[in-house]
């Protein structure tokens, strides 16, 4: 009996507290209080679900401007590059002239998707892909011809651009776009940075605390470049795919490219792979996409460079890159 009585007393006390709250706040006040709790929980849920998953996983992905160059054109700009016709300037002229073939050139006397002025085409056209034909609608021919024009008019580049556009209005825009592209995708000598717009290094080459196991003094044989999942990964040099790895441990999905002079580049933790074994790839060609497969704490590219089988620090090969 005493136990039952205590239960009844506790129940009565809870009821009195509830009725006191209702009496003090009124039905409207209670409803407002409940609505407030609901909104708070909804807001907290929204913050959790919309937060960057990579940050929650321990790797912060930096923001970057949109890299708007069509990736199938990038290797062509790189191949066509000359001393006075950088790949970034070629891309900038293409973007300003026709937005990479999306719109028509302002000039009416142009041909091809690049918007090559007819008067210039006849004097500077070249067979970019060596197929025996010179076609202004062939991106190789058009871009290589543009590079030829810039190279042969290098003594006065401003005037050359003004002649190209028919006015000087677009010249400043070309220089601005060129600077923007060059900043997002560093090229040093024969090496191209593999992730356009993302240059932060979250983990350098050398000894470190293993981010997964916590092991002290673990050796990291490459550099980690955080970027959003699905960001295209570019070949740092032209080469041959010697190995394609698909797995859930270690490097996860990974690609090995064989280059000249005993050099090999490895790209790890990819979300997907875009090449096959023994395939020939060009510098700047998309070979895969950033992911977090294998032994990884968040989306990033693990890049390794090997010289005659020896793993070396990749960063010295990209000397124009501003190290963090």
CATH of the domain at 282: 2.70.70.10
With a cut of 50, say whether residue 10 has pLDDT above it: no
For residue 171, the Cα-to-chain-centroid distance in whole angstroms is 27
With a cut of 60, say whether residue 24 has pLDDT above it: no
Q: Is residue 105 part of a domain?
A: yes
The tokens of 319 are what? 């000397």
Q: Is residue 52 part of a domain?
A: no
What is the residue range of 275's domain? 206-317
Contact at 8 Å (CB) between 245 and 253? Answer: yes
- Residues 185-197: what's their mean pLDDT? 87
The tokens of 201 are what? 């290094």
Contact at 8 Å (CB) between 25 and 19? Answer: no
Number of domains in the chain: 2
Query: Is the domain of 211 the same as that of 313?
Result: yes
With a cut of 80, say whether residue 30 has pLDDT above it: no
So what's the pLDDT on residue 22?
Answer: 44
Q: Is residue 238 part of a domain?
A: yes
Domain edge (last residue) among 152, 184, 216: 184
Query: Is the domain of 165 the same as that of 237?
Result: no
DSSP-based helix, strand, coil % in the chain, nearest 5: 40, 20, 40
85 vs 126: CA distance, rounded Å: 15
* Neighbouring-strand partners of residue 253: 270
Prediction pTM value: 0.75
Q: Is residue 167 part of a domain?
A: yes
4 or 258, higher pLDDT: 258
Residue 188 pLDDT class (50, 70, 90 cuts): confident
So what's the pLDDT on residue 38?
Answer: 52
With a cut of 70, say whether residue 235 has pLDDT above it: yes
Taking only Cα atoms into account, the Rg of the chain, rounded to an integer number of angstroms, comes to 29
So what's the pLDDT on residue 54?
Answer: 38
3-state class (DSSP) for residue 186: coil
Burial class (CB in 10 A: 0-12, 13-18, 19+), 102: exposed
Nearest alpha-carbon partner for 236 in 266, 262, 261: 266
Query: Is the domain of 217 the same as that of 175?
Result: no
Query: Is the domain of 169 the same as that of 255?
Result: no
- Write out the H or E segment, with its range, that includes residue 22: helix 2-50
So what's the pLDDT on residue 34?
Answer: 60
Query: Is the domain of 118 the same as that of 162?
Result: yes
Query: Is the domain of 212 the same as that of 178?
Result: no
With a cut of 80, say whether residue 198 has pLDDT above it: yes
Q: Is residue 123 part of a domain?
A: yes
- Residues 61-83: what's their mean pLDDT? 85
Query: Is the domain of 211 the same as that of 180?
Result: no
With a cut of 90, say whether residue 8 has pLDDT above it: no
- Residues 202-222: what's their mean pLDDT? 78
Q: Is residue 6 part of a domain?
A: no
Query: Is the domain of 217 the same as that of 155?
Result: no
186 vs 189: CA distance, rounded Å: 10
Q: Is residue 81 part of a domain?
A: yes
Residue 299 pLDDT class (50, 70, 90 cuts): very high
End-to-end CA distance of the chain: 74
Domain edge (last residue) among 153, 184, 215: 184
Q: Is residue 42 part of a domain?
A: no
Query: Is the domain of 78 the same as that of 173?
Result: yes
């Amino acid at each position: 009996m005493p136990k039952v009585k205590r239960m009844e007393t506790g129940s009565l006390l809870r009821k009195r507290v509830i009725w006191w709250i209702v009496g003090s706040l009124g039905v409207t006040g209670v409803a407002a209080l409940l609505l407030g709790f609901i909104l708070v929980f909804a807001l907290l849920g929204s913050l959790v679900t919309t937060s960057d998953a990579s940050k929650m996983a321990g790797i912060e992905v930096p923001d970057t401007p949109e890299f708007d160059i069509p990736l199938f054109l990038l290797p062509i700009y790189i191949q066509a590059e000359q001393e006075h016709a950088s790949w970034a300037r070629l891309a900038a002229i293409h973007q300003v002239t026709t937005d990479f073939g999306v719109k028509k050139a302002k000039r009416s006397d142009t041909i091809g998707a690049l918007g090559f002025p007819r008067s210039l085409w006849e004097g500077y056209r070249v067979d970019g892909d060596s197929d025996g034909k010179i076609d202004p609608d062939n991106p190789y021919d058009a871009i290589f011809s543009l590079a030829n024009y810039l190279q042969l008019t290098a003594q006065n580049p401003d005037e050359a651009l003004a002649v190209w556009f028919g006015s000087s209005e677009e010249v400043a825009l070309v220089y601005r776009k060129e600077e923007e592209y060059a900043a997002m995708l560093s090229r040093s000598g024969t090496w191209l940075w593999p992730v356009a717009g993302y240059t932060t290094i979250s983990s350098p080459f050398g000894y470190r605390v293993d981010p997964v196991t916590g092991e002290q003094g673990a050796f990291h044989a490459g550099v980690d470049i955080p970027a959003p999942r699905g960001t295209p990964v570019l070949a740092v040099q032209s080469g041959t795919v010697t190995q394609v790895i698909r797995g859930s441990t270690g490097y996860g999905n990974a690609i090995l490219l064989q280059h000249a002079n005993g050099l090999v580049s490895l790209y790890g933790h990819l979300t997907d792979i875009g090449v096959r074994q023994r395939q020939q790839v060009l510098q700047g060609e998309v070979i895969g996409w950033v992911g977090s497969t294998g032994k990884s704490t968040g989306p990033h590219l693990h890049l390794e460079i090997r010289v005659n089988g020896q793993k070396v620090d990749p960063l010295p090969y990209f000397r124009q890159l501003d190290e963090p």
